Amino acid sequence: MKILGLGYQPSGCAWHRVTIPLGFMNDVKGIVTDEPIPELLAEGWDIVFYNRFCTLEKDWAKVKEMLNCKVVMDIDDDWDLPPDHIMYNEFQQLIPILINNMKCADLVTCTNERLANKVRPINPNVLVLPNALPYGNHQYQLDKVEDERIRIFWSGSISHEKDLEILKFPIRKVNMHKDKIKMVIGGYNDSDENSKMIWDRMVNSYTFNKSLPYMKLSYLMPNNYMQLYEYGDIGLVPLEKSDWHGSKSNLKLLELASKKIPAIVSKVEPYSLDTDAPVLWVESQKDWFKHINFFINNPEQIKIYGEKIYQWAVEKYNIKDVNEIRRKAFADLINA
């Protein structure tokens, strides 16, 4: 089976939904590129595989005829962004392209059933494949940078500013432990004025206006971003409750699990769908400090819960197992 993966290198979506799956799929010749040059296209491919958008999307009928291949599109986010989303206005012009890509695909893969239900009226040939990681491989090994303080960790992007604001007031109570803890925020990016302004607000929210000991870690590319997690001991996963958020995946839990970092998590979808996840659930604002306080006062529990979430993720969301389903679906598509 020969699969041509198309994905923009800085895209985390392409990394998790195209690059990792192809990189760990047995008996497959696969390559991932941003721009498929004519010589590469001429090599002959069974499947063109991409996430949401790609450089071949202008004329799918011509692509299928020219390459004599099947097209698999992956989508891992709801395309109807909430109006207060930072990308809302920019994304409106992309929605028609996205919908046409779904219509023209021979198979659409997505991360959960809620998203699949939204895809089906557009393309009934849809398959749910959850995110999964190659635990113990590549950047998902158990590397850790040691620190004398207990590090309370969050990582993300400016699109999660409202999620991070959930922690603004609970974090203030952590001040009583300021001699024991360090707030670590990952993904910081001041590459332009607007990003810097938002990130600085986020840092202030997360550090009680910088009155708590803290460390901010700069953005890393998808192929080495897990280095940020090496500076975490307790992971915080705040998320607003909404239908749009519910169409996302549980990837943050898997990333924390890969480094054996215990998680304190908003009990909202998609995370709450994993009812068996060995995390500390947040059902009200007071739970954030309650759970943080638990780990600070019982540091031996950090290792215990870290081991629990690691074993859970390896058993349930291992790329090897999910790729078996993906590989069979691809083979069936080729042979149809």
Per-residue pLDDT 10s for the chain (336 aa) are 999 999 988 889 999 999 999 999 988 888 999 888 888 898 999 999 999 999 999 999 999 999 999 999 999 999 999 898 888 999 999 999 999 999 999 999 999 999 999 999 999 999 999 999 999 999 999 999 999 999 999 999 999 999 999 999 999 999 999 999 999 999 999 999 999 999 999 999 999 999 999 999 999 999 999 999 999 999 999 999 998 888 889 999 999 999 999 999 999 999 999 999 999 999 999 999 999 999 999 999 999 999 999 999 999 999 999 999 999 999 999 998
The H or E element containing residue 152 is strand 150-155
User: For residue 10, what pLDDT is reported?
Assistant: 82
Considering its fold, how many domains does the chain have in total? 2
Q: Give the separation between CA 151 and CA 178, rounded to whole angstroms.
A: 11
User: For residue 110, what pLDDT is reported?
Assistant: 97
Report yes or no on whether pTM surpasses 0.75.
yes
Q: What are phi and psi of 128, to 5 degrees?
A: -85, 120
User: For residue 8, what pLDDT is reported?
Assistant: 86
Q: Are residues 94 and 9 in the same domain?
A: yes
DSSP 120: T
Q: Are residues 218 and 114 in the same domain?
A: no
User: For residue 151, what pLDDT is reported?
Assistant: 98
Structural domain including 47 reads: 2-132+318-335
Q: Are residues 107 and 226 in the same domain?
A: no
User: Tens digit of pLDDT for each residue in 247-283?
Assistant: 889 999 999 999 999 999 999 999 999 999 999 999 9
Q: Give the separation between CA 207 and CA 96, rounded to whole angstroms.
A: 41
Hey, which residues does 236 pair with through a beta bridge? 264
User: For residue 236, what pLDDT is reported?
Assistant: 98
Q: Are residues 160 and 297 in the same domain?
A: yes
Q: Are residues 153 and 219 in the same domain?
A: yes
Cβ-contact 17, 63 below 8 angstroms: no
Cβ-contact 4, 48 below 8 angstroms: yes
Sign of the dihedral through C-alpha 273, 275, 279, 284: positive
Q: Are residues 173 and 276 in the same domain?
A: yes
CATH (domain of 30) = 3.40.50.2000
Indicate the residue type of 243. Answer: D
Cβ-contact 282, 267 below 8 angstroms: yes
Q: Give the separation between CA 138 and CA 136, rounded to whole angstroms.
A: 7
